[in-house]
Structure formats: C-alpha cells, structure tokens
Amino acid sequence: MRRAALVCLPTALLVAACSTTVAGSASPAPTTAASPSSTSSSAPAGPSGTDDPSDDDLNRARNLVDELYAGLSSSTEGGLAAYADFLATHNHPEFSFGGPECLTFLQGLGLTDTYRALYTPDLVELDVDPGWQVPDGRYAGLAPDGDVYSVPITVDEADTATGSTGSYSATVHAAVLDDEAFFFQPCEP
C-alpha cells in the first residue's frame, strides 16, 4: 500500500497544476497517473498581457522556475517536515496551504522522512499560459495573479524506508509574481 501511495504522491501534488500527465515506470510495482484535463487558453499572450513575451521575460522566468524546483528537490533532503514547509511557503500566495496541513497530507500518503524527489523542469519548453485557471480542489477556478507559465517536468522519487521508487512526467504551471516564482502544489486529498 505504501508503494502505491509513494508513486501517486507527486501526481496528487501536481494534479492542480497539470495540464497533461504521462505515467513513468515505477519499481517495484507499475503505476498509472491520472490525466487531468487541460485548462489552458488557446491563444497564449506574453507576460502581463502582451502579445509575445520578450526573450528577457522568458529567460528570467526560466531562471526563477529552475530555482523554484531546485529548491523543492533540495527540501526533500531535510525530511518530510522541511518538504512540507517548502511546499507551503512556495505555493502561489492565492493558493495557500499551511506547513502543518502539507505535512499531514504527506504523512497520510504514507511518505517517510527518507522520501526524496528530484524535480527537473524542461525550461526550453516553458511557455506563457495567461488564461490558465486552477482546475480543481479548494481553489478551482482561481485565475492567479502574475505571469503564468506552463512547463513540462520530470520527477524521480524514492523512499528508502519503504523501498519504493518511481518516475513520471507532467506539464505543470508556475507563476512569476513580484520577481519570484511560485507553483500550485495542493496539500489536500
């Protein structure tokens, strides 16, 4: 049971931020991931409503999103409480979950302090998505402030206490607001 929870965790965390999920292989048991429906607009505009983002805007967003997911990966090295705190403090300000709430959620999925994840965004594919809204959960319908981007991401994970490992890919959303990147990682079942 814990093995299934491990592989489903990042899918559960990313589901509110996904427009597409592609299941990877998992060990020791194979898994499948849900494919959330896309809520992207059909005609992307540039940051802050312009027609096309400048190279400077895209490069700045790429750097900020890269730092965000590098920090998320690093936070798993500090144990489950550090991971939960990073999730809570780096969610978009309008998409708020508290550290204790995130910790309870992670523990409820059967994760342990030995859970580790490596989040790798495909920054070349980062693109603006100004019409995006949170598709479901507590904040369904929220059109967040800031410049919203979609970015494919690969997650490799393991929990040595349970012997579980997994890998998957998804397209997630991040927003740049006041020169800081935020994600949309829910801490609710």
pLDDT in tens, 41-82: 333 444 545 557 799 999 999 999 999 999 999 999 999 999
pLDDT at residue number 83? 98
Q: Which residue has the higher pLDDT, 21 or 165?
A: 165
How much is the average pLDDT of 31-39?
30
pLDDT at residue number 189? 81
Q: Residue 105 and residue 73: Cα distance in Å, rounded?
A: 18
The pairs formed by 34-40 with CB atoms below 8 angstroms and a separation of 24 or more are 36/135, 36/136, 37/135, 39/132, 39/133, 39/134, 39/135, 40/129, 40/131, 40/132, 40/150
Helix count and strand count (H, E) for the chain: 4, 6
Do the beta carbons of residue 160 and residue 66 sit within 8 Å?
Answer: no
CA dihedral 47, 51, 57, 61 (to 10 degrees): 50
Q: φ, ψ for residue 173 (rounded to 5)? A: -120, 145
Bridge pairing between strands 147-159 and 20-27: unpaired
Residue 159's H or E segment, with its range, is strand 147-159
Say which residues have a Cβ less than 8 Å from residue 40's Cβ, sequence separation at least 6: 19, 129, 131, 132, 150
- DSSP state for residue 129 in the 8-state scheme: -
pLDDT in tens, 115-167: 999 999 999 999 999 999 999 999 999 999 999 999 999 999 999 999 999 99
pLDDT at residue number 51? 52
> Which CATH class for the 2-26+54-183 domain?
alpha beta
**Helix locations, the chain, DSSP H:** 2-14, 55-75, 80-90, 99-108
Helix axes 99-108, 80-90, angle to 10 degrees: 130
pTM for the model stands at 0.78
Would you state the structure tokens that stand for residue 188, as one six-digit string? Answer: 């609710």
Q: Please, which pLDDT band fits residue 13 given cuts at 50, 70 and 90?
A: low
Say which residues have a Cβ less than 8 Å from residue 101's Cβ, sequence separation at least 6: 88, 187, 188
